[in-house]
């Protein structure tokens, strides 16, 4: 199975520490390398990385990394990386023939999360989001989190940063079908901004957005200096293979 990693944005909250968010090191290993190694550990054999800000630097790093890991890495640039992240999803999906794992470059995941997601596809769903029901975890930034409200069957009823009620948090990993990119495009056509959440809500409104509860598996969003400090303390404990390889 392929994976798509979104790595195009500016990363303003980490800019004081690193000029490129995907190349920001955690204990010496860049975030994008951690993500690719964890994807490979989950059985992914090809990774499409969507680049934008500092694309030359990121793509040069990926060319070197592809020689060090047993996974094919294909960069694809977005024309305007300032646009919402749904445009990056559409660009990455255009390089995939079927279903794919979708990951955010600034998130780190236990490979068990990615492995579980890769196995949950069915005809009843067009996208499956990894969710964490431990919404008060100290590792979650409540001001930046994307919240999720689920129905009785575990499907998404609402998703976004400002929804009034939630029972889970989006952990930044998805099993996507080609319908996700189509949903983002459809949301843009009716005036939405083009965010990934717009496409997710489009599918949720049609009963096609499922969830996969990650249980106690470990993940982190590394989006600011505080989170980076925590990641350097905790990630080597939970993602041992990625750091041993790096």
Query: If 0-12 CB within 10 Å is exposed, 13-18 middle and 19+ buried, where does residue 91 land?
Result: buried
Residue 16 confidence (pLDDT) = 86
CATH value of 2-221+231-237 in 3.40.50.300, 3.90.550.10, 1.10.3720.10, 2.40.40.20: 3.90.550.10
Residue 11 confidence (pLDDT) = 86
Residue 70 confidence (pLDDT) = 84
In whole angstroms, give the CA distance from residue 42 to residue 36: 10
Residue 245 confidence (pLDDT) = 64
Residue 66 confidence (pLDDT) = 94
Give the domain ranges of the chain: 2-221+231-237
Give the HSE-up count for residue 90: Cα atoms under 13 Å, Cβ half-sphere: 23
Contacts of 94 (CB under 8 A, 6+ apart): 76, 181
Angle among Cα 147, 19, 87 to the nearest 5 degrees reads 45
First-to-last C-alpha distance (Å) of the chain? 23
pLDDT in tens, the chain (246 residues): 999 999 999 988 888 889 999 999 999 999 999 999 999 999 999 999 999 999 999 999 999 999 999 899 999 999 899 999 999 999 999 999 999 999 999 999 999 999 999 999 999 999 999 999 999 999 999 989 999 999 999 999 999 999 999 999 999 999 999 999 999 999 999 999 999 999 999 999 999 999 999 999 999 999 999 999 999 999 999 998 888 765
Residue 226 confidence (pLDDT) = 94
For the whole model, what pTM was predicted? 0.96
């Amino acid at each position: 199975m392929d994976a798509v990693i979104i790595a195009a944005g500016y990363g303003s909250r980490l800019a004081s520490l690193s000029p490129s968010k995907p190349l920001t090191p955690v204990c010496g290993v860049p975030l994008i390398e951690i993500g690719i190694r964890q994807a490979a550990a989950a059985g992914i054999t090809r990774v499409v990385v969507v680049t934008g800000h500092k694309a030359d630097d990121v793509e040069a790093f990926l060319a070197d990394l592809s020689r060090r890991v047993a996974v094919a890495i294909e960069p694809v640039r977005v024309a305007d990386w300032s646009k919402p992240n749904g445009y990056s999803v559409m660009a990455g999906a255009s390089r995939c023939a079927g279903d794919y794992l979708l990951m955010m470059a600034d998130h780190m995941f236990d490979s068990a999360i990615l492995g579980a997601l890769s196995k949950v596809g069915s005809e009843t769903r067009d996208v499956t989001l990894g969710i964490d029901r431990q919404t008060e975890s100290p590792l979650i930034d409540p001001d930046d989190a994307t919240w999720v409200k689920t129905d009785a069957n575990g499907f998404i009823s609402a998703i976004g940063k400002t929804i009034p009620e939630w029972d889970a948090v989006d952990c930044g990993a998805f099993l996507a079908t080609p319908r996700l990119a189509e949903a983002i495009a459809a949301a843009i056509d009716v005036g939405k901004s083009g965010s990934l959440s717009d496409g997710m809500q489009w599918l949720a409104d049609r009963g096609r957005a499922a969830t996969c509860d990650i249980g106690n598996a470990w993940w982190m969003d590394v989006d600011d200096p505080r989170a980076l400090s925590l990641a350097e303390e905790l990630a080597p404990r939970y993602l041992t293979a990625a750091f041993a390889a790096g």
